[in-house]
Amino acid sequence: MVLLDLNSHNKHYNPEKFRSNFPAINDQSVYLDSAATALKPQAMIAATHEYYAHSTATAQRSLHHDALQVTASIDKARQYVADFIHANDNSEIIWTRGTTESINIVAQSYARTILKPNDEIIVSELEHHSNLLPWLIVAQQTGAKVIKWSSNIDELSALISSRTKIVAITQMSNVTGFCPDLATISQITHQYNAVLVVDGAQGIVHHCLDVKQLDIDFYAFSAHKLYGPTGLGVLYGKQLLLKQMSVWQGGGKMLKTASFSDFQPADLPYKFEAGTPNIAGIIGFAATLDWLRNWDVKQADRYTEQLANYTKSQLMKITDIEFYSVDNSPIISFNIKNIHHNDLAILLGEQKIAIRTGELCAQPLMQKLGCHGVIRISLMPYNNQQDVDKLIEAIQNAIAILT
């Protein structure tokens, strides 16, 4: 049963009404660092508070009323996520601490058991360290090789071979905002019987996808970038792959039986969820997804794209500015000649403008771009033109001080 329908014709999107749902927004400051973490809607905050204030109990253990309610809430949240990404079954949804842990699970519980010396893992140059380091580690453990790929489709066709076991790619670059053609990448990957791993941390909030339609084998994202709580992530995996994987951690509730000689792991999804889950986070995220279904997310994405284009048009008026991001993206990365990105960030911070600077956990991509860091603005449907105008004024003030 589909609980979430994000494409209903009855939905709407109004920028100011949407913005009013975020209590952290105020007239004194401007938040343009949503690619790091999104602001949280009141619905999520209220649900988390309700759990801690009135319903505190653990899940899948006790049989008293509150505990049974908590277990039911976690099951409902798992179904919400399955519906959101169009998974076949909610047993394909694993709760983790975030995208980083999700990809590490795939690397250690799947890749480490199937890789042999000289097998290859193709990883794009666009990747956040979270979708690079786990593959470097498992390559060192198994003797496999990590193959650098520019993300160009023609180059993938040239690189991939019978030695390729995994292709790892982002849904959206956290530096350039580029969105690879996942459909074509998936088709090429599966022609060679390799497995496709997609990092959805940046992309999921702007581009809802269908893991079945795209034939994605593993998909990872973090709740906090999708208006949800920190410390919670999702790993989606095809059921067949998850069943053959070894357990990630040992502990409570991830087993059926245990003795001093052996144990039998629990069925999916629980065999990957040792210990007490992030109950408040899961409940808060369910409330977030439930709240999100009231809005036309495609219309919200179009609004954000228009705002991004306005932002870039205003930034282009600045002398000696160099852009690193693609057009029509909510992520805008740039530098200004003879001004260090951190110096600009400090002065913007003093004017209560929140942005991100630095290498953005993507050192290999920075090397390719020929820089040691960038200034990144990241927009969301809760931003508006006034935010952008305040940003531009603050940048001009900073330039006057720094030059």
Residue 114 and residue 83 in contact, taking contact as beta carbons nearer than 8 Å: no
| Size of the chain in residues | 403
**Left if phi > 0, otherwise alpha if psi is -120 to 50, otherwise beta: which for 223?**
alpha
Pairing outcome for strands 93-96 and 145-149: unpaired
Q: Alpha-carbon distance 234 to 103, whole Å?
A: 10
List strand residue ranges (DSSP E) for 79-204, in order: 93-96, 120-124, 145-149, 164-170, 195-199
Residue 178 and residue 132 in contact, taking contact as beta carbons nearer than 8 Å: no
User: Quick one: DSSP state of residue 14?
Assistant: -
Residue 226 and residue 194 in contact, taking contact as beta carbons nearer than 8 Å: no
From the list 179, 208, 361, 371, the catalytic residue is 361
Inter-residue long-range contacts of 57-66, CB under 8 Å, 24+ positions, other chains counted = 58/276, 58/279, 59/276, 59/277, 59/279, 60/253, 60/270, 61/252, 61/253
Residue 376 and residue 35 in contact, taking contact as beta carbons nearer than 8 Å: yes
Query: Is residue 179 among the annotated active site residues?
Result: no
H/E run at residue 221:
strand 218-222
Q: Which residues contact 96 (CB under 8 A, 6 or more apart)?
A: 102, 105, 220, 232, 233, 234, 235, 272
Kindly give the residue spans of alpha helices, DSSP state H, lying in 273-384.
279-292, 297-315, 341-350, 363-369
Largest CA distance in the chain: 71
Q: Which residues contact 63 (CB under 8 A, 6 or more apart)?
A: none
Structural tokens at position 397: 């003030």
Nearest to 308 by CA among 87, 32, 82: 32
User: Quick one: DSSP state of residue 107?
Assistant: I
- Is cis: bond before 269, omega within 30 of 0? yes
Residue 165 and residue 121 in contact, taking contact as beta carbons nearer than 8 Å: yes
Residues tagged active-site: 361
